[in-house]
Structure 1
Amino acid sequence: MTSPESQSPAPQPPEPESRDRVYRSAPAIAGGVLLLAVVGWLGTDAVVSGEGRTPWMAVAVMLLVVPLVVAFTLRPAVYAGDDRLRIRNPFRVIVVPWGKVASLRSSYSNEIVTDSGAKYQLWAVPVSLRARKKAARREMRATAQARRAMGRDGAPDEGRGSALGMRAGLGGGPGAGPVSDGPVRAETDRIVDELRGLHEARREAGSAQGEVTVRWAYEVMGPAVAGAVLVLVLLLAG
């Protein structure tokens, strides 16, 4: 019988693989949940209380509307891994290895461009012009405060206690937060910056090479088409 000291140590568990970064739109999710609640409430009421063809029409409309609401609000997501970018849009899932990404563009919409010239929009990372303008105003206020904190000779004003060192990304002042590392950016623009950084770091990796794949989301399109056909049949039946 071997002593506990002579037993070999238990094998260590393997290191967990790095998880994908997931980006989704919180306002879209909130809006989708609200729309589903309204559709479910109205549809259930029509099925329970309706007469004649009303219950059937309610079922058909819900079969059409619910998949579309899910597709455009709850479904969109972007999964950024070490080797590839997986884009889950309303009706398609696109997997693009980092080695195939030529650029990430951000204007009126965020999209990626592959080395073959194909473009794919990032539905889960929508552009908000309002958020951009708000971030620009915050940056202007922070810059103006930093300039006021500097004396005419370029030295910090002692009466302000070196406000430059206390400047935060949201404005500044004692206890306002850490020193800003750069210009104030809108949330979706910061996400695109992160994706660009990951692309720059991983595009030459051997495991980040491969082919672009596109799959249609038949699990969403099928019920919606069935609901549309049923609504059309009920309308034609008079």
Structure 2
Amino acid sequence: MNFDILTLFPEMFQGFLNSSIIKRAHEKGIIETNLINFREFANNKHQTVDDAPYGGGGGMVLKPEPLFEAVDHLLQNVSERPPIILMSPQGEPFTQRKAEELARHSHLIVLCGHYEGYDERVRQYLVTEEISIGDYVLTGGELPAMVLIDSIARLIPGVLGNETSAVSDSFSTGLLEYPQYTRPVEYRGYRVPDVLLSGHHKNIEKWRRQESLRRTWMRRPDLLQSVDLTPEDITFLKRLKSEADKDQ
């Protein structure tokens, strides 16, 4: 997977790209990131990338020329146009399903904005999609781009040490992840559930499924609307609701 990142602040990515799992993925050659300061593609001697908005108003707007020129440069020797993603609070909410969709590509171009916003022509004629990581506003698109890259990269085979980790993570199945425990068996009087110590794999899987359902029902019941539930799942959820009604 190759990530081309257009940003005015490439130095913001250094710690992220040179640490932990992302660093190891680079060292293995599984992912490659190319940081491009699109100020270098400005068409004036002062390398101006923003200007006041037509019609007045506060703040500055990113000019179209540097971004269009930078993307043209990246596409010079590319046979197939990759997704060109604009990080924007106005974009499609980023989800695990979206990460899985984007992980099928071998090349992504990610645009990180700053200032008040983008010239609308960037949205209309340059990017293929806009993505938001939440309903809030940040000073720029760099942090959202890091979230995007981290979420996608861990889905690429070989990036994680344990290939089953991404499969069982929260949201990968549509449900929140079940509780996890490790040694010691007992700590300060708090004990690991006996089923996890039993060695009975079928019972363990059943417990994990039900705990995922329980946690999702309690914390994110909206997610259950899009999950394929088995008859056993439905019976379990009815029991949870019945128990909750009795406690009220």
TM-score interval for Structure 1 and Structure 2 normalised by the shorter chain? under 0.3
- Greater RCO between the two (CA within 8 Å, min separation 6)? 1
Bigger Rg, structure 1 or 2: 1
Q: TM-score, normalised by structure 1?
A: 0.21
